[in-house]
């Protein structure tokens, strides 16, 4: 069962959202306090554990009710509706209405009731259980952090689905059991996201999550930084989710970009059997998930009426390059030169970037000044850089335009060759010659003959001394080029003939022979 559409009326800042058609992955972007959280919390109201105040019913609406209409779809929808909402008679509709009734004082909890549209009338429905396996929603909300984790473990705590992390210890204990069916997935995600594995150990007043250090000591999760517990909380929910709706706020908080991408990969995989509604300010989240074919992007905006009451609107972002680029711009992604690059060249070394961009292109292939030349500063970063490039243009629906307009070149050592082979295997729709190595193991070997002795000495240095020496050598070469341009051009034409020929090949492919 999945949410097919949603309509929010008189709830928080929404007077009437109109019908919001959802997909497997749904991304909601917008400024702070624009109403993103209101969408997620409107959905969460269907399940026990979601809290609300009477003041959440929209002010000055003339109504004492908020109404959230949620329509569902699925292969066995009637069975699922009866299971989750515990309906006493067979429903004739796929739409559940959640009503929130204002009480006399704003601080009082409102009355939350559910009903299913059923022909000309309605039948009563119950809020969804917040106990596995009868829950439908896994909430991962902004206020998920707690001052202390519950150290007691029992079956109720293991199965409880709450909007915070209080029962994290019990949930980790279940997954840390090597005989448990989802244990392998749990340890894999811990390795990918956290960079280490965690378990549960006996503490003074119960049990705690942490890592063992030696035969007697432990590092508790409380000593690992705020972000670790939040990431672990999402990991345990992702492991357990199957046919569920996950509501995620501010996924990017307290997480390293590399770990974030690992979680995003899992979300893409899990979207085959689950549904996600995610609010975000992060362009990495937007680019990665928004590039998927089963994803939709929504923008939320808020305006203020004369009475001071904000009114939010939500709109789906059009599947056009211009609309998607604009969303990235709003999230701070620098695209000021987005439309001017004819192609991309990814290089392993910054020295190669400097020589090619500042001299060889200008001297031998001036049309390639419209080529974006990028240094990844290391062979291990080549593949992530190219994948980010691919996802950017997949997200903006410009992938077909840039197909065949990017090249990746590494040094010709064994590590570089291995990296290129992996790229060729991963991106089989690209011609293999878009991923290649130089014939030399070090780009400095393409410097003019007058620098040969200096190059030999620098490359003979140890790992610690070499980077600074290579940087100094590059400065000497560029200074010589600036002072002796005609001589330098002739010298590089001979010493870097392979590189020049490669640039001329790119030039012909991009611009023809004109």
Map out the domains of the chain as residue ranges.
2-135+244-330, 147-240, 343-511
> Encoding tokens for residue 423?
């790229």
Report the alpha-carbon distance of residue 210 to residue 172 in Å, rounded.
10
β-sheet with 199-203: strand ranges across: 199-203, 206-213, 217-220
Q: How crowded is residue 172: how many other Cβ atoms within 10 Å of its Cβ? A: 27
Confidence check: pLDDT of 381 > 80? yes
- pLDDT band of residue 111 (cuts 50, 70, 90) is confident
Give the C-alpha separation, 469 to 478, whole Å. Answer: 14
The residues near 281 (Cβ < 8 Å, ≥ 6 apart) are 29, 250, 252, 331
pLDDT tens digits along 184-241: 999 999 999 999 999 999 988 899 999 988 888 889 988 887 789 999 999 999 999 9
The model's pLDDT over 45-85, given as tens digits with 9 standing for 90+, comes to 999 999 888 888 887 666 788 999 999 999 899 899 999 99
Q: How far apart are CA 86 and CA 100, in angstroms?
A: 19
Residue with tokens 């293999």: 432
For the cut 50, the answer to whether the pLDDT of residue 467 exceeds it is: yes
Q: How large is the average pLDDT for residues 104-132?
A: 81
Percent of the chain at pLDDT > 90 equals: 62
Band the pLDDT of 140: cuts 50, 70, 90. Answer: very high
Cis preceding-peptide flag for 133 (omega within 30 of 0): yes
CATH class of segment(s) 2-135+244-330? alpha beta
User: Is the pLDDT at 250 greater than 50, yes or no?
Assistant: yes
pLDDT given at position 397: 66
Mean pLDDT score, 391-420: 83
**For position 93, what pLDDT does the model report?**
84
pLDDT reported for residue 216: 85
> With the CA atoms of 313, 316, 322 and 328 taken in that order, what torsion angle do they form, in degrees rounded to the nearest 10?
80
**pTM for this entry:** 0.78
Do 159 and 131 contact (CB within 8 A), yes or no?
yes
DSSP string, 263-281: HHHHHHHHTTT-EEEEE--
Report the pLDDT value the prediction gives residue 60, as an integer from 0 to 100: 66
Which range is least confidently modeled, 279-283, 316-320, 402-406?
402-406
Residues 6+ apart with CB under 8 A from 429: 403
Predicted confidence at residue 61, as pLDDT, reads 62
How does pLDDT run across 268-280, given as a tens digit for each residue?
999 999 999 999 9
168-176 and 226-240 helices, crossing angle to 10°? 60
What was the pLDDT predicted at 128? Answer: 96
- Per-residue pLDDT tens digits for 20-54: 999 999 999 998 888 999 999 999 999 999 988 88
Mean pLDDT value across the chain: 89
Rg of the chain (C-alpha set): 28
What pLDDT does 334 receive?
57
């Amino acid at each position: 069962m999945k949410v097919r559409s949603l309509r929010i009326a008189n709830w928080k800042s929404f007077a009437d959202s109109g019908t919001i058609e959802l997909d497997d992955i749904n991304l909601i972007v917008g400024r702070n306090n624009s109403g993103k959280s209101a969408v997620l919390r409107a959905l969460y109201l269907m399940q026990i554990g979601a809290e609300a105040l009477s003041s959440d019913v929209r002010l000055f609406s003339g109504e004492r009710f908020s109404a959230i209409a949620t329509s569902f779809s699925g292969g066995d929808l009637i069975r699922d509706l009866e299971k989750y909402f515990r309906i006493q008679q067979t429903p004739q509709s796929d739409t559940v209405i959640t009503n929130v009734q204002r009480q006399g004082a704003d601080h009082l909890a409102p009355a939350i009731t559910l009903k299913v549209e059923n022909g000309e009338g309605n039948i009563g429905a119950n809020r969804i259980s917040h106990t596995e396996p009868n829950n439908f929603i896994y909430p991962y909300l902004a206020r998920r952090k707690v001052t202390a984790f519950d150290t007691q473990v029992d079956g109720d705590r293991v199965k409880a689905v709450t909007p915070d992390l209080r029962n994290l210890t019990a949930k980790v204990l279940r997954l840390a059991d090597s005989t448990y069916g989802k244990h392998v997935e749990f340890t894999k995600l811990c390795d990918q996201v956290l960079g280490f594995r965690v378990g549960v150990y006996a503490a003074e007043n119960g049990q705690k999550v942490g890592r063992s250090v030696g035969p007697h000591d432990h590092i508790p999760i409380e000593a690992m930084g705020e972000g670790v517990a939040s990431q672990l909380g999402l990991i345990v929910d992702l492991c357990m989710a199957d046919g569920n709706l996950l509501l995620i706020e501010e996924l990017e908080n307290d997480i390293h970009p590399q770990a974030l991408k690992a979680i995003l990969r899992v979300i893409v995989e899990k979207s085959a059997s689950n549904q996600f509604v995610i609010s975000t300010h992060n362009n990495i989240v937007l680019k990665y998930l928004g590039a998927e074919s089963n994803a939709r992007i929504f923008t939320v905006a808020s305006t203020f009426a004369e009475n001071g009451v904000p009114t939010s609107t939500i709109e789906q972002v059009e599947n056009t390059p211009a609309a998607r680029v604009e969303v990235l711009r709003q999230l701070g992604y620098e695209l000021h030169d987005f439309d001017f690059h004819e192609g991309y060249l990814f290089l392993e070394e910054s020295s190669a970037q400097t020589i090619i961009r500042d001299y060889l292109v200008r001297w031998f292939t001036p049309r390639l000044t419209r080529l974006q030349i990028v240094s990844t500063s290391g062979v291990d970063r080549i593949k992530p850089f190219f994948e980010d490039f691919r996802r950017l243009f997949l997200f903006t629906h410009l992938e077909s335009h840039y197909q065949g307009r990017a090249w990746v070149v590494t040094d010709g050592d064994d590590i570089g060759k291995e990296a290129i082979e992996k790229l060729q295997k991963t991106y089989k729709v690209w011609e293999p010659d878009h991923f290649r190595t130089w014939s030399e193991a070090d780009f400095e070997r393409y410097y003019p003959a007058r620098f040969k002795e200096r190059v030999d000495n620098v490359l003979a240095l140890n790992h610690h001394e070499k980077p600074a020496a290579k940087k100094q050598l590059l400065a000497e070469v560029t200074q010589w080029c600036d002072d002796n341009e005609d001589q330098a051009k002739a010298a590089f034409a001979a010493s870097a003939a392979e590189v020049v020929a490669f640039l001329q090949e790119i030039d012909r492919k991009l611009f023809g022979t004109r």
